Amino acid sequence: MQQVENTHLPGTIVHGGGRDRYIVERLLGKGGFSNIYLVRDRHARQNLYALKEVIDPNKRERERFTFECELLMRLEHPSLPRVYRVFEESKRNRVYVLMDYVEGSNLEQLRNLQPEKRFALSQVIEIMTPIVDAIGYLHRHNPPIVHRDIKPSNIIVPARDVAVLVDLGIAKMYEPEATTTAVRHCSPGYGAPEQYGIGTTPRTDIYGLGATFYTLLTGIIPADALERMIELHENRPDPLVPMNQVVTTIPARISEAISRAMSTRSTARFATVEEFWQTMTAGIERPVSFEPIFESLYSPGKNGSLSNGTLQITDGLPLQGKAPASHARKTSIIVALVLAVLLLVSVSTGLAFHFSSVQHPAQTHSTAGITTPQSSTTSTTPANIYPKMAEQYTGMINDLATKATTPMSLTQISQSAGNIRGFFSGLGQTGTFTGTVDKAGNIQFQVTIYGGSETITFEGTIKLGGFPAGTFRVLRDSQFTGESGVWSVSP
């Protein structure tokens, strides 16, 4: 895909095929490879929708996106946004998905209005009840659907209705025999360790759910999974401080349940969302009504009033879930410096899948299922400028299959805007590479070896100080061989 460079102006008509026409009201959000617009049905002008536009997908991406959206159109749950249709505009190579448009503030915004930037346990239980039910609904499908990006900013709380889980844009049907690299679909602090590796499972959502509870109840975004893995591998204490040590009024059993949900080992977590929820709510007296709680959430806090309708789009970028600057800076430095000499433990396998959110015109409530790109806590490059690559990098690459760590170098690098090429050495192999770096600091490139039959694909981000780091996979005839690992280099 190419980087998004153009957007529709207000008043533009998007043709949906047949008599369907949608008038663009305004741009709601913009991601690396997509835009989301507020649109009005030309034939039923009272009907507002959100329209996601995917830019320049290749044939495989287009077919996958269309198939997955058609699956999501079958979902019916009051705490999930409704997807209505997907269509193409072949002349401009665009794919569109029409969804619910939902107004409301997300839990990250509301949290920051609360005293100490956290909620009471009773509030959290009441707000999250329909969300947990929605996650269970997704997981009960055959095969299960894994959301993969559960976090406070993806939970919308309308002032007079149940909370809604949005940004299904990176959800995916879980297939136990399939694998996919997911490093670009991981929100710092909320992504499970396996999302830095080769796959996800329904237990990945349990980690994200636990991390969401951690933030809502303590006011602190938890330590990132990658930082935790590094520290634990070095036999140092887990950076994730138990909740009841952060807020002493949190019951020990709640703290223990969250710790279990956020285990770095997938198999040590709760087996199902239902088991996690039963443990969380045992013995807790539930409020009688949503209304008093929601009214209190929307009351101005010490930071002033909240402007509703602030919309966001994640688009699978790692710029989601903005952590406090000091914590993010510490995490970035640790990852950049330590990854060069460490190996990560192997991770579980699974799948994941891409689409977004909005509101049903016949409904009176709304679910702002779109999330605007938040500023990266690790990139040092302005959002409108491609990061400038150095001429050469050196570092380490770790093969999880063989548990071997070898030197890695990228040399003779040339760059034209977002396109890069150069010479690779590592894993006992050498060869030329080609790839891209986008304005958000995401980097990907490929090295072809063995006469063209095998390809090493690299994905990652450019961390604070200009340190690229990420994951790699080895493909043979375009099929994943099972060989993967992590890499990190410095200028």
What CATH number is associated with residue 64?
3.30.200.20
**Which residue range forms the structural domain that includes residue 48?**
13-99
Tell me: do 227 and 135 sit in the same domain: yes
341, 364, 380: which is the final residue of a domain? 341
Domain membership of residue 4 (yes or no) is: no
pLDDT score at 216: 97
Tell me: do 92 and 139 sit in the same domain: no
Domain membership of residue 270 (yes or no) is: yes
Tell me: do 241 and 301 sit in the same domain: yes
- In whole angstroms, what is the distance from residue 335 CA to residue 337 CA? 6
Q: Do the Cβ atoms of 81 and 168 come closer than 8 Å? A: yes
pLDDT score at 398: 82
Domain membership of residue 419 (yes or no) is: yes
99, 119, 140: which is the final residue of a domain? 99
Domain membership of residue 3 (yes or no) is: no
- In whole angstroms, what is the distance from residue 95 CA to residue 115 CA? 43
Other C-beta atoms closer than 10 Å to the C-beta of 15 total 14
Tell me: do 154 and 235 sit in the same domain: yes
Tell me: do 75 and 118 sit in the same domain: no
Domain membership of residue 336 (yes or no) is: yes
Instruction: Give the DSSP letter of residue 244.
Output: H
326, 341, 356: which is the final residue of a domain? 341
pLDDT score at 43: 77
Closest CA relative to residue 147, chosen from 133, 135, 130, 131: 135
**38 - beta bridge partners?**
26, 50
pLDDT score at 36: 84
Tell me: do 62 and 136 sit in the same domain: no
Number of domains into which the chain is organized: 3
pLDDT score at 371: 36
Structure-block tokens of residue 24: 């663009």
Q: Do the Cβ atoms of 212 and 155 come closer than 8 Å? A: yes
pLDDT score at 232: 86
Q: Give the residues of the chain that fall short of pLDDT 50.
A: 1-4, 175-184, 287-292, 300-383
Domain membership of residue 347 (yes or no) is: no
pLDDT score at 260: 97
Got the DSSP string for 306-363?
Answer: --TT--B--TT-TT-SPPPHHHHHHHHHHHHHHGGG--PPP------------B-TT-
Closest CA relative to residue 223, chosen from 254, 247, 192, 252: 192
Tell me: do 83 and 180 sit in the same domain: no
**86 - beta bridge partners?**
97
Tell me: do 95 and 112 sit in the same domain: no
Tell me: do 40 and 95 sit in the same domain: yes
Domain membership of residue 29 (yes or no) is: yes
Tell me: do 281 and 308 sit in the same domain: yes
pLDDT score at 367: 36
pLDDT score at 481: 83
Domain membership of residue 330 (yes or no) is: yes
pLDDT score at 118: 96
**CATH number, position 311:** 1.10.510.10
Tell me: do 135 and 93 sit in the same domain: no
Tell me: do 193 and 278 sit in the same domain: yes
